[in-house]
A and B are shown apart, each in its own frame.
Chain A
Amino acid sequence: MTGGVQVTGEGLSCRRGDRLLFAGLSFSAPAGSLTAVTGPNGSGKTSLIRMIAGLLKPEAGTLRVSGAGAGDEAAADLLHYLGHHDALKSQMTARENLTFAARWFGVSGDPGMALERLGLKRQADLPVGYFSAGQRKRTALARCWMLGRPLWLLDEPTAALDADGRALVLDLIAAHAAAGGTVIAATHDPLGKDAAEIAVA
């Protein structure tokens, strides 16, 4: 992994439709940190994550990803976004989904190894449509791990997972942060005792 990524936001406000979700939000997530974005449902956690990914423009405020503006191409190359929907094609196998992601993002990754890391070695060549919700989540996380970007933006990474799955994911996240990566996750679950918190509401 190349040098760590720092994310800083200042005075951010977000509007969806006619509703103002949050305003004046500021935070700093340095390299090697874990940050949990918390708040009740509908409070704007997903919106904040999407803002950092550059998919959504804030109504006010500035957002920077390691010096680049959020939404710039330079910033996009530094991050991986794992959203609420897992962006997996049900008619393709887990391996095929990951292979496509590697080619699309221009990364030479090993889908087999990534799937094994997330405990899906036996299911690698089954169509994702047959997976449970938890298995799909783990496939998406395998993809995230395989792509090896420094900044991970995760939306509910432990949702639909059982206790073993959650432990696996938290382990993965902690390892990534320990290696210098940055993780910002919208979550209801605690990420670990070292995690910072951005409370949206």
Chain B
Amino acid sequence: MLRYANPKKFLDLSGALLPWLWIAAIGLMGWGLYQALFTVPPDYQQGDSVRIMYVHVPSAWMASFIYGFMFIASVVGLVWKHPLADTAAKEAAPIGAAFTAVCLITGALWGKPTWGTYWIWDARLTSVLVLFFLYLGYMGVWAAIEERAKAAKAAAILCVVGVINIPIIRFSVEWWDTLHQGPSVVRFEDGKFAPSIDGSMLWPLLIVAVGCTLLFFALLFVRMRTDIAQRRIRTLMAQKAAS
């Protein structure tokens, strides 16, 4: 009994969209990064090191965006039990974790020339670190539970609990930050180290961000298609073993 539903519509749609997604993603990111590296003037305070911002900030946005995406997918999976929703959440997680890691690493690389230290326990970076652990925990739950339906539900619950908890964590760490403000700590607004963002600096940022979003969807579709194919293979093998 090959009950396994073939999500044909998704496969057709994603297959048609993928080439365009790749082209647009790579094109936009390339253009944005080219501007970031060559066209944008160096910052009057930080010099050329501000260029890391064009990788750091979009990856920070993606880290949050993807978690929000996973949250919606988890809720859809829990409430409406759409099988693709669970797959979408599952396959989005490693991409989100990767963007978060990029954010942390570029943040550290940016920190060294700016504050003189690779890491600083401020509200923003600490929250991103906790978000990274959330991603890892989520992926861990999927990996640890063998039965797919159970893993999907457990991971979905974890994702929902995490989303409720993220603003609390942000708030608590910001509060802690203000408690421990010493005169030597550099203050910066909302994670962007430039005191104000000029238009010429903003556009490349947005271009890279949109490019990253398209890249996410491209990667997501590839991962989901791979997952669907893997499950089909497993079903076929199980059938073969039973016959």
Contact = CB atoms under 8 A, between A and B. Distances in A.
B1 A17 contact: no
A121 to B, nearest CB: 42
Interface string A15-28: 10110100000000
Contacts of A18: 3-4, 148, 235, 238
B233 interface: no
B190 interface: no
A15 B148 CA distance: 13
A20 B4 CA distance: 11
B3 A17 contact: no
Contacts, number: 11
A17 B231 CA distance: 12
A181 to B, nearest CB: 34
B147 interface: yes
Contacts of A17: 147-149
Nearest to B1: A20
A20 B148 contact: no
Nearest to B2: A18
Interface residues on B, range: under 10
B147 A20 contact: no
A15 B149 CA distance: 11
Interface residues on A, range: under 10
A17 B4 CA distance: 11
Nearest to B147: A17
A15 B147 CA distance: 12
B149 A20 contact: no
Nearest to A16: B147
Among A15, A17, A18, which residue has the most Cβ atoms of chain B within 10 A?
A: A18
A22 to B, nearest CB: 11
Contacts of B3: 15, 18, 20
Interface in A16-57: 17-18, 20
Nearest to B150: A17
Interface in B79-134: none
A18 B238 CA distance: 10
Contacts of B4: 18
Contacts of B149: 17
Nearest to B235: A18
Contacts of B147: 17
Contacts of B1: 20
Interface of B: 1, 3-4, 147-149, 235, 238
11 contacts: A15-B3, A17-B147, A17-B148, A17-B149, A18-B3, A18-B4, A18-B148, A18-B235, A18-B238, A20-B1, A20-B3
Given A15-B3, A17-B147, 9 more contacts: A17-B148, A17-B149, A18-B3, A18-B4, A18-B148, A18-B235, A18-B238, A20-B1, A20-B3
Instruction: Please list the 6 inter-chain residue pairs (A to B) with the smallest Cβ-Cβ separation, ordered nearest first.
Output: A20-B1, A17-B147, A20-B3, A18-B235, A18-B4, A18-B3
